[in-house]
A and B are shown apart, each in its own frame.
Chain A
Amino acid sequence: MNLRNALRLARIFSLSASRAKSDDGGAPEGLASRPVTNLIASPIAFILAAAFTCLVMGSKMDAFILQVLALQFSVFMPAFTMFMSMVYSLMTEFSKSGEATSTDIVNWLPIQAGDFVAGSVLTTLYFVSPMASLLLGFAFGISFLAGSLGIWVVGAFVSVLGCILGALALEIARGALNRASGAFSGVGGQGAVILRMVLSVAIIVAISMMFNFSMMMRVVAWFSSGLAGIRFVPVLWPSMIVLEQASGNTYGAAIYACLSGLLLAAVYIASVRVRELYWAPAPVSLKMKPVRMSRSRGFLGTLGFDSGEAAVIRKDLKSLLRRREMAAILAIPVMVLLMGFMGTPIDMLMDPSAPYESKSTFLFQCAFAVLVLELQLALNAVGQEREEFINLLSAPMDAGQLLKAKASSALLPALPVLALLSILVSLLASIDAVTMIALILLGGTLLAAVTTVELAVGARYAIFTSSGRTRFVTQEGTIIGMLLGMATVGASLSPFALHFILEYVSIPIAYVLTLGTTLVVACFGLRVARRELEELYEYNY
C-alpha cells in the first residue's frame, strides 16, 4: 500500500462526496462544498457533548452509577463505532453503481487495490468522525465525572479500530455484491434477476448483522447460556480489550489487542483481495424472457388503471427487483424483521398459552418493518426515475395520473406483506375474524397515509441526476421523510391513546376515530403530494 496514494484518493473521495450532496445536481456553495466542514464539526461535537454531559449529569448522578456508565460506554463504543461506520457507508455509498465509482480509477491509474481500500476507509472515517466525536464526547464527560479517564482513553483508541473494521467490512460487501451480480450475467431470465436481488439483500443484511453489537449478543445468547461464548465472536474482541483492561487484567487485554490486530489484518487483506478479484464489475447483460404483450386490459386495467398508469406500475415493480440500488432499500426492513425474530424466542411465539404481552415486541417489530418498507418505497418512488424522468415528463400523463401510479407501485409490494403479517398476528394472538379484518383495514389505511406523505417528501427532495449520486432523495429529504413518517403514524394512531392511556373511550370508538384520522391524514398527504408533483411538471427541464 502506498500511503501517499491512499491520502490522495481519500481527498478526491471526500471532495466528491461533499459535492454530490446538492439537490439540483450543481455543486453546493460555501462550507457545505468543502470537506473541511467535518474537521470543524468533529471537535465542536466532542466539546459540546462532553460539556453537556458534565453539566447535566454532574449534579444528578451518584459516583457509583457514573462509574458503571463510564465502563459501559467505554466498552460499548468500539462495537458501536464499528456498526456506525458500516451503516453510514451502507446508507451513503452502497447504492452507487459500479460504473460510477471506481472501475476507471482501478483500471487506468497506477494505483493498487490496497491504495484504493485505504483511501476509501479514510474517507469513511472522515465522514463518520462528527458522529463518533459526539459519542466520544459523551463518554468523555461521563468518564471525567467518574474519574476513569484511563479506560476512556483505551475505549477511544479501540473505537477508531472499530470504525476501520466497519469501513473495511463494507469493502468486502461491495466486492461480494459485484461477484454475486456478475455470476448471474450469463444465466439470464426473471428467476436469475430475482435470485440476484435476494442474494444482494442477504449479503447486506448478513454483513450488517455481523457487525451489529446487539445482534451478536443475541446470537451468543442463542448458542450459550451466558456470555461465555463472547470470546468466540471476533467483532466483540475490540470491546473485550476495554473490558479486560477495566478489570485490571492487562494480560487478557493484551491477548484481545493481539486478536483484534489479527482481525484487522485479516479483514484488510480480505477486502483488498476481494477488490482485486471482483471490484471492476463485468458489464451485466441479462437476457430476459420475451415480454408478453397483452391485448386485454390486464389485471391492473381491471383495477381501474389506464394503460399509462399500469405501464408505470409494471416498470416500477421491475425496478424494485432488478436495480441493485434497491437492495439497500429492501435490506433495511428485512433487518428490522430479523431483529424481531432474534429478539423473541420461537418457543414463546408458538406457545398459545404465552401471554400476549410477551409477543407484543415481536409483533410491533413486524409492523414496524412493514412501515419502514412502505416509507422507503414511497420516499424513493419519484427520485428513482433519475434522468429518465424525461420519459414521463414528455409523455401524455398529468401529475394526477403519475401520483396514482407511483402511490400504487409503492403500496403494492407492502400490501402482501401486511396480509402475511395479519395472518401471523391472528395465529400468534388468537384473534377473531372481525378483529382481523379491522386490523387489516386499519393497517392498509395507515400504509396509504404514510405513502402519500412520503411521496410528497420524496418528490420535493428527489435527486434526478444520475452521475455520482448515491441516493434517490437528498439527506435532508431522508431525515424529513423519516420524521414525517413517524409523525404520520403518531397522528393517525393518536385516538388509541384516548383508550389505552386516558381510558376516555371504548375500543370500537377509538378504532373508528383512528380510522377517520388516518383517512384525513391520507387525504391531506394526497393533496400535498399532488401539488409537489405538479411543481415537478412546472419545473423547467
Chain B
Amino acid sequence: MDREIAVSLRGVSRSFGETRAVSSLDLEIERGSIHGLLGPNGSGKSTTMKMVMGLLKPDAGVIDVYGKDPQRDPIGVKRIVGYVPETPRLYEYLTGLEYLDFVADVYGVDPEVKEERIYEFLDAFGLDGRENEMISGYSHGMKQKTALIGALLHRPRLLILDEPLGGLDPKSARIVKDILQRLSGEGVTTIFSTHIMEIADALCDRISVLYNGEKLGEGSPAELREMAGRPRSTLEEVFLMLTGADDVAEIVDALMG
C-alpha cells in the first residue's frame, strides 16, 4: 500500500539574522502518524513547527501540508491544523468555557455540536466544574489542558504540539497520549516536540533528531538505536550520542569535583 504523505518539507531553511535556525531540512510525515521532533534547546524544533503552521516564512525550500502551501494558502492550512505553542497564550480575562467557545467560533465549529464537544473534552481532561472560572486563576497545567482542548475542538487533520506535556500531571499526560494515539488511528497526523525521551519512545511512530537546525537522524525509535549502533541503549543515550552530548558524566564529575 502506498504511503500517504501528510506533511513534507524539502530543503527548508530559516535564519534569524546571523543565526541559522533550520538548515536544508527534508522531512516526510505520513498521514495518521505521530512524528516527534527531538532536540536540545535552540535546535530548530519550534521554528520548524511554526513554518509548517504558516506563522514563519522559510528563507528557502518548499513545505506542503495536505497538498496546501502554508505561504500561499495560510487560511486553508490553518483551517485543518490545531496548534499549541510551547507556552500557551490564553485570554486570561475569559473563563475556560468562554475561551473554548471563542476558539470554536473562530474555527467555525458547527454550533449544533460545539457545546457537546467542549464539555466532552472538559470532562476528559478533568476541567469540568472549573470551566466558569477566569483563566487568570488557572494553574499552568490547567492552561495547558485548555489550550490542548482548543486545538482539538475543530477536529484538525494535523496537530502541531510544541512541548504539549510540559506542566501536565501524570493522569493528564496519559490522557493526552491516549487521545493522540486514538486520533492517529482516525488518520490525524501529529507533529510534536518534546524533551522527554520516554514519551517520544512510547508515543512516536517516527522521530527526527534535530541539532543546530540540522537533521541528525530520522526513523522509528528502534531504527534510531540501530543507526547509533546501540540497539540496547535507551533513546536518551542515543539522543545524547547523536547530538554529541554523551560527555554528561564527565561534566557532572568536573562540576562535583
CA distance A403 to B40 in the complex (A): 39
Residue of A nearest to B131 (CB): A290
CA distance A291 to B98 in the complex (A): 6
Write the nearest CB–CB distance from A301 to chain B, whole angstroms: 10
A394 proximal to B (CB < 8 A): yes
B121 proximal to A (CB < 8 A): no
Assess whether B55 is in contact with A396, with CB atoms less than 8 Å apart: no
Assess whether B93 is in contact with A318, with CB atoms less than 8 Å apart: yes
A-side contacts of B55, CB under 8 Å:
390, 393-394, 540-541
B57 proximal to A (CB < 8 A): yes
Assess whether B89 is in contact with A388, with CB atoms less than 8 Å apart: yes
A-side contacts of B103, CB under 8 Å:
391, 395
Partner of A541, one of B56, B74, B76, B102: B56
Partner of A290, one of B91, B97, B102: B97
Assess whether B56 is in contact with A540, with CB atoms less than 8 Å apart: yes
Write the nearest CB–CB distance from B246 to chain A, whole angstroms: 34
Residue of A nearest to B87 (CB): A387
Assess whether A395 is in contact with B78, with CB atoms less than 8 Å apart: yes
Taking CB atoms and an 8 Å cut-off, the chain B residues in 98-148 that contact chain A are: 98, 101-103, 105-108, 111-112, 114-115, 118, 131-134, 136-137
Contact with A along B215-242 (1 / 0, CB 8 A): 0000000000000000000000000000
Assess whether A311 is in contact with B106, with CB atoms less than 8 Å apart: yes
**Given A396-B75, A396-B106, residue A295 in contact with residue B112 (CB < 8 A):** yes
B168 proximal to A (CB < 8 A): no
A-side contacts of B106, CB under 8 Å:
307-308, 311-312, 391-392, 395-397
Assess whether B132 is in contact with A322, with CB atoms less than 8 Å apart: no
Name the residue among B56, B90, B105, B114 with the largest chain A CB count within 10 angstroms. B105
Partner of B97, one of A291, A296, A393: A291
Which of A39-47, A281-289, A371-379, A469-477 lines the interface with chain B? A281-289
Assess whether A314 is in contact with B102, with CB atoms less than 8 Å apart: yes
Assess whether A294 is in contact with B75, with CB atoms less than 8 Å apart: no
**Given A291-B97, A394-B55, A398-B75, residue A387 in contact with residue B105 (CB < 8 A):** no
Assess whether A318 is in contact with B85, with CB atoms less than 8 Å apart: no
CA distance A322 to B79 in the complex (A): 30
Assess whether B56 is in contact with A315, with CB atoms less than 8 Å apart: no
Write the nearest CB–CB distance from B15 to chain A, whole angstroms: 11
CA distance A278 to B61 in the complex (A): 56
Residue of B nearest to A315 (CB): B102
A506 proximal to B (CB < 8 A): no
Write the nearest CB–CB distance from A392 to chain B, whole angstroms: 8
Q: How extensive is the interface on chain A, given as a class? A: 35 or more
Residue of A nearest to B81 (CB): A394
CA distance A390 to B83 in the complex (A): 10
Contact with B along A500-541 (1 / 0, CB 8 A): 000000000000000000000000000000000000011011
How many B residues touch A, CB cutoff 8 Å? 39
Assess whether A294 is in contact with B111, with CB atoms less than 8 Å apart: yes
Taking CB atoms and an 8 Å cut-off, the chain B residues in 25-79 that contact chain A are: 50, 53, 55-57, 74-76, 78-79
A293 proximal to B (CB < 8 A): yes
A231 proximal to B (CB < 8 A): no
Write the nearest CB–CB distance from B7 to chain A, whole angstroms: 16
A-side contacts of B105, CB under 8 Å:
307-308, 310-311
B5 proximal to A (CB < 8 A): no
B95 proximal to A (CB < 8 A): yes
Partner of B95, one of A291, A319, A387, A538: A291
Taking CB atoms and an 8 Å cut-off, the chain A residues in 268-322 that contact chain B are: 283-291, 293-296, 306-308, 310-312, 314-315, 318-319, 322
B175 proximal to A (CB < 8 A): no
B94 proximal to A (CB < 8 A): yes
CA distance A406 to B55 in the complex (A): 21
A323 proximal to B (CB < 8 A): yes
CA distance A293 to B118 in the complex (A): 11
CA distance A290 to B98 in the complex (A): 8
Assess whether A396 is in contact with B56, with CB atoms less than 8 Å apart: no
Write the nearest CB–CB distance from B226 to chain A, whole angstroms: 37
Interface residues in chain B, defined as those with a beta carbon under 8 Å from any beta carbon in chain A = 50, 53, 55-57, 74-76, 78-79, 81, 83, 85, 89-91, 93-95, 97-98, 101-103, 105-108, 111-112, 114-115, 118, 131-134, 136-137
Beyond A397-B75, A541-B56, 7 additional contacts (C-beta under 8 Å) are A285-B133, A287-B132, A307-B108, A311-B102, A391-B91, A393-B55, A396-B78
User: Can you list 20 pairs linking A and B with CB atoms under 8 Å apart?
Assistant: A284-B137, A285-B134, A287-B134, A290-B131, A291-B132, A293-B115, A295-B111, A307-B105, A307-B106, A388-B90, A391-B91, A391-B103, A391-B106, A394-B53, A394-B78, A394-B85, A395-B107, A396-B79, A397-B75, A397-B106
| For the complex of A and B, 9 pairs with smallest distance between CB atoms | A285-B137, A311-B105, A322-B93, A396-B79, A396-B78, A307-B105, A293-B115, A308-B106, A395-B106
